[in-house]
């Protein structure tokens, strides 16, 4: 099995929960204050959908995944990919399911409730509190918006998070936030091994009344099923 693809998919699950909460008030000038305002600022967001592009860079190898993500409080998430076509990630709060059409494989992983900074706990004020506990938060260049990337007209505020504990999988996380919409535009995460995973979000739709059945996934009848794949060699 192409473990790099499934690894990117799981990393996407971990990080995408940050998306609807990476916001703050313009009146707050300190990075800690900006980050601390996240949960309170987004209490009104019940669900969202957005375009997502995931780029993983391991050494000289580069992989790109493109799709549409849907999220609903407290812990429902689904990503339907167009690249790779038909690849799917669904998270119900207790079960992570990943369909890899290239291999006709469905991966299922049970997730223990209250598992720290992983999984669905990131989508809660308590999860954000844990993230702040284990990562030091600072502005990368200051509170003023900067270019999203070279030659881009788009401006973002950049927060830099560095791990306090050696048990965290990501050494650093950069959050790039649109000052106009107060939504995250890009996440740039670096693992302890030096690999990079970048997530770009656009085309947000907020509070559309997404139904719970949107997060029900019917696996293809012909697919091979693997359970608890994160703990299998």
Contact 115, 121 (CB under 8 A): yes
Tell me if 78 is assigned to some domain: yes
The residue segments making up the domain with residue 15 are: 3-134+195-231
Domain assignment of residue 167, yes or no = no
Asked if residue 23 has pLDDT above 80, the reply is no
User: Per-residue pLDDT tens for 145-197?
Assistant: 899 999 999 999 888 989 988 888 888 888 888 877 778 889 898 988 889 99
Q: Which residues are CB-contacts of 162 (< 8 A; sequence separation ≥ 6)?
A: 135, 136, 138, 171, 172
Give the pLDDT score at 29: 66
Q: Is the dihedral of CA 111, 131, 201, 203 positive or negative?
A: positive
How many domains in the chain? 1
Confidence (pLDDT) at 90:
93
pTM of the model: 0.79
Q: What is the pLDDT of residue 73?
A: 83
Judging by beta carbons within 10 Å of its beta carbon (0-12, 13-18, 19+), is residue 145 exposed, middle or buried? middle
- Is 91 part of any domain? yes
CATH number at residue 122: 2.50.20.10
In-domain check, residue 94:
yes
The CA distance from 146 to 149, in Å, is: 8
Q: For residue 153, is it within any domain?
A: no
pLDDT at 226: 92
Structure tokens at 104: 């006709």
Do the domain assignments include residue 104?
A: yes
Let me know if residue 87 belongs to a domain.
Answer: yes
Q: Is residue 66 part of a domain?
A: yes
User: In which band, very low, low, confident or very high, does the pLDDT at 224 lie, cut at 50, 70 and 90?
Assistant: very high
């Amino acid at each position: 099995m192409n473990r790099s693809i499934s690894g990117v998919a799981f990393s996407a699950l971990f990080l995408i929960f940050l998306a609807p909460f990476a916001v703050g008030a313009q009146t707050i000038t300190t990075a800690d204050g900006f980050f601390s305002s996240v949960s309170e600022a987004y209490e009104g967001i019940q669900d969202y959908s957005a375009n997502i592009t995931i780029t993983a860079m391991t050494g000289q190898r580069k992989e790109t995944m493109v799709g549409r993500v849907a999220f609903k409080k407290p812990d429902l998430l689904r990503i339907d990919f167009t690249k790779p076509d038909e690849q799917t990630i669904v998270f119900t709060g207790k079960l992570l399911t990943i369909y890899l059409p290239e291999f006709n494989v469905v991966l299922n992983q049970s997730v223990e409730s209250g598992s720290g900074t992983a999984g669905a706990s990131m989508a809660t004020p308590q999860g954000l509190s844990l993230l702040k506990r284990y990562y030091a938060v600072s502005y990368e260049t200051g509170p003023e918006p900067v270019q999203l990337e070279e030659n881009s007209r788009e401006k973002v505020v950049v927060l830099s998070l560095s791990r306090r504990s050696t048990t965290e999988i990501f050494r650093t996380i950069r959050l790039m936030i649109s000052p106009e919409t107060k939504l995250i535009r890009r996440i740039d995460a670096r693992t302890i091994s030096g690999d990079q995973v970048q997530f770009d979000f656009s085309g947000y739709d907020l509070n559309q009344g997404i139904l719970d059945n949107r997060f029900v996934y019917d696996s293809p009848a012909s697919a091979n099923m693997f359970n608890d794949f994160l703990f299998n060699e």
